[in-house]
């Protein structure tokens, strides 16, 4: 599977997006973690203040057991009402309000109480209080329970009321509702903390990004240098093989240009065209393993010699497969002698089984061979060449590729056929820069 090639500009956009996404994810993670921790801590802190305040209140009303009227219900009720009106308000009013206060005798029988009957859930909360009656009677020290109804915390506290001899004479019991205002104040503090944490994460991300960008640019520069070195090696190796086969390497330049123009006409992607360029330069690299007596023989090869010559495909595959950077040239190197009808070599592939780059190169290679001067022949005219290519439709050549080539062939013939000068090389260099420049050099793994 071919790797997708992206431009350097696109890479920078991806980098910005990924750094931003990482910053957002990290900020959300730590923001959520902070919310979770702070929420528990803030609620606990509120409840601690409420519990402390209600316990203090319970202890303050412990004086009722010292009154001569204890445990007369009416007298206790009067004292309780007076005490609530005078002192309860200042204890915990900022955190909420008492919705139930009761004074019980030592058997947990009700002596006096004050209930906010208008408060929602008061009956449900009193039912919860009744469930703790046995616990209350066994208690020798303060205890409390916390309940939640509709998201509001309620604190039930109970305090034994001790006599002069430390014996339990009764109990003070309260149910306190934490106010919405107290909760919202706590949540505001949480939000401030969460936003501070997220802001620190975003600021850190912004400070880190320039360093990442600088390192990326250095990496890009190294990538460009490596790419230039690879391209130099590609051209030198391709030229060396071409010069061994003939006196010039112009064939490599022309056939590569033809192949690229066909690929562009077919709207192939950059990565495929890169592979095509590599394969076009190295299509006959395996001929380095063919003996000169066969490779340079001026006459027609006999069957044995032809069999040996065909081995250059296997030699070529061995060579390009040794290089990770050249591996995507295998489609052209290994299959450019296949024929559309399945009569080619090495594998006898047919139709769409043949890689598209090999099908393109087959047309370009034959076109250049026919329109070029060889020791054993003069160049064919444009018309003769196109007639021969047309004869190979569906047998040798892919009809779709041949049609794409036919639409641009005359212009290519006029511009490059038989050409060996610097203009040819400069034109190809421009093409290579377009497809292998720094803006096309980054291939994510």
What is the C-alpha to C-alpha distance for residues 80 and 93, in angstroms, rounded to an integer? 17
pLDDT tier at 132 (50, 70, 90 boundaries)?
A: low
pLDDT, mean of residues 150-172: 79
Which pLDDT score is estimated for 143? 74
Q: Do 251 and 170 share a structural domain?
A: no
6 DSSP β-pair partners: 442
The DSSP code sequence of 225-266 is HHHHHHHHHHHHHHHHHHHHHSS-SHHHHHHHHHHHHHHHHT
Q: What is the pLDDT of residues 80-110, one digit of tens each?
A: 787 777 655 554 556 777 788 888 887 778 8
Which pLDDT score is estimated for 248? 58
Q: Do 182 and 252 share a structural domain?
A: no
DSSP state of 420: -
User: Quick check: 419 pLDDT over 80?
Assistant: yes
Q: Do 182 and 255 share a structural domain?
A: no
Q: Do 257 and 125 share a structural domain?
A: no
CATH number for the domain including 100?
Answer: 3.30.450.20
Which pLDDT score is estimated for 123? 77
Which pLDDT score is estimated for 71? 75
CATH number for the domain including 267?
Answer: 1.10.3210.10
Whether residue 252 is contained in a domain is answered as yes
Start-to-end Cα distance in the chain: 11
Q: Do 161 and 298 share a structural domain?
A: no
Whether residue 125 is contained in a domain is answered as yes
User: Quick check: 285 pLDDT over 90?
Assistant: no
Whether residue 195 is contained in a domain is answered as no
What is the C-alpha to C-alpha distance for residues 252 and 241, in angstroms, rounded to an integer? 10
- What mean pLDDT is reported for the chain? 81
Which pLDDT score is estimated for 55? 65
What is the C-alpha to C-alpha distance for residues 47 and 54, in angstroms, rounded to an integer? 10
Q: Do 252 and 178 share a structural domain?
A: no
Asked whether 254 and 416 are in contact (CB, 8 A), the reply is: yes
Q: Do 250 and 173 share a structural domain?
A: no
User: Quick check: 114 pLDDT over 60?
Assistant: yes
Among the three residues 170, 186, 202, which one is the final residue of a domain in this structure? Answer: 186
The residue that leads in pLDDT, 233 or 414, is 414
Q: What is the pLDDT of residues 25-58, one digit of tens each?
A: 888 888 888 887 777 776 677 667 766 766 666 6
Whether residue 412 is contained in a domain is answered as yes
Q: Do 174 and 256 share a structural domain?
A: no
Q: Do 30 and 105 share a structural domain?
A: yes
Q: What is the pLDDT of residues 291-345, one digit of tens each?
A: 888 887 877 888 899 899 999 999 989 998 988 888 889 999 999 999 999 999 9
User: Quick check: 65 pLDDT over 80?
Assistant: no
pLDDT tier at 1 (50, 70, 90 boundaries)?
A: very low
Print the domain residue range for 262.
Answer: 246-440
3-state secondary structure of 169: strand
pLDDT, mean of residues 203-216: 81
The residue that leads in pLDDT, 226 or 334, is 334
Among the three residues 186, 220, 254, which one is the final residue of a domain in this structure? Answer: 186
Among the three residues 171, 186, 201, which one is the final residue of a domain in this structure? Answer: 186
Whether residue 445 is contained in a domain is answered as no
Which pLDDT score is estimated for 249? 75
Q: Do 258 and 132 share a structural domain?
A: no
Which pLDDT score is estimated for 359? 97
Q: How far is CA 403 from CA 259, 363, 445, in A?
A: 13, 11, 35
pLDDT, mean of residues 75-83: 79
pLDDT, mean of residues 424-432: 89
The residue that leads in pLDDT, 92 or 370, is 370
The residue that leads in pLDDT, 426 or 236, is 426
Burial of 350 (0-12, 13-18, 19+ CB in 10 A): middle
The residue that leads in pLDDT, 407 or 145, is 407
Whether residue 226 is contained in a domain is answered as no
> Highest mean pLDDT: which of 80-84, 184-188, 213-217, 430-434?
430-434
> Highest mean pLDDT: which of 114-123, 215-224, 231-240, 404-413?
404-413
User: Quick check: 438 pLDDT over 50?
Assistant: no
Q: Do 302 and 182 share a structural domain?
A: no
Whether residue 208 is contained in a domain is answered as no
Whether residue 101 is contained in a domain is answered as yes
Q: Do 260 and 120 share a structural domain?
A: no
What is the C-alpha to C-alpha distance for residues 334 and 275, in angstroms, rounded to an integer? 13
pLDDT, mean of residues 8-37: 80
Q: What is the pLDDT of residues 371-395, one digit of tens each?
A: 988 777 789 999 999 999 999 999 9
Question: Domain total for the chain?
Answer: 2
């Amino acid at each position: 599977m071919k790797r997708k090639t992206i431009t350097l500009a696109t890479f920078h956009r991806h980098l910005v997006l990924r750094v931003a996404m990482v910053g957002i994810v990290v900020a959300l993670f730590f923001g959520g973690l902070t919310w979770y921790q702070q929420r528990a801590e803030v609620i606990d802190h509120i409840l601690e203040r409420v519990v402390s305040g209600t316990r203090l209140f319970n202890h303050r009303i412990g004086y009722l057991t010292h009154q001569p009227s204890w445990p007369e219900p009416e007298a206790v009720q009067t004292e309780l009402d007076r005490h609530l009106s005078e002192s309860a308000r200042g204890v915990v009013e900022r955190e909420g309000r008492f919705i139930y206060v009761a004074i019980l005798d030592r058997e947990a029988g009700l002596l006096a109480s004050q209930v906010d009957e208008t408060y929602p859930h008061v009956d449900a909360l009193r039912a919860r209080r009744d469930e703790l009656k046995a616990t209350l009677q066994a208690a020798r020290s303060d205890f409390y329970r916390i309940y939640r109804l509709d998201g509001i915390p309620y604190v039930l506290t109970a305090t034994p009321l001790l006599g002069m001899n430390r014996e339990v004479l009764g109990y003070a019991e309260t149910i306190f509702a934490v106010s919405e205002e107290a909760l919202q104040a706590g949540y505001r503090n949480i939000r401030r903390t969460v936003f501070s944490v997220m802001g620190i994460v975003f600021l850190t991300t912004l400070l880190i990004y320039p360093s990442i960008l600088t390192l990326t640019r250095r990496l890009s520069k190294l990538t460009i240098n490596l790419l230039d070195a690879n391209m130099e090696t590609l051209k030198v190796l391709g030229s060396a093989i071409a010069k061994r086969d003939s006196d010039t390497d112009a064939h490599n330049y022309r056939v590569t240009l033809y192949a690229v123009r066909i690929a562009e006409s077919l709207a192939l992607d950059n990565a495929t065209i890169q592979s095509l360029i590599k394969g076009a330069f190295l299509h006959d690299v395996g001929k380095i393993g063919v003996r000169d007596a066969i490779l340079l023989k001026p006459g027609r090869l006999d069957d044995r010699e032809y069999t040996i010559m065909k081995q250059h495909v296997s030699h070529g595959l061995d060579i390009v497969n040794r290089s990770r950077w050249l591996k995507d040239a295998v489609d052209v190197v290994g299959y450019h002698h296949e024929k559309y009808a399945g009569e080619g070599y090495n594998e006898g592939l047919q139709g769409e089984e043949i890689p598209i780059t090999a099908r393109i190169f087959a047309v370009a290679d034959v076109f250049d061979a026919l329109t070029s001067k060889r020791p054993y022949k003069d160049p064919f005219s444009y018309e003769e060449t196109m007639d021969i290519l047309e004869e190979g439709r569906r047998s040798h050549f892919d009809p779709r590729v041949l049609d794409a080539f036919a639409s641009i062939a005359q212009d290519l013939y006029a511009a490059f056929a038989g050409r060996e000068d610097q203009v040819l090389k400069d034109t190809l260099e421009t093409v290579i820069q377009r497809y292998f420049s720094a803006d096309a050099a980054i291939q994510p793994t």
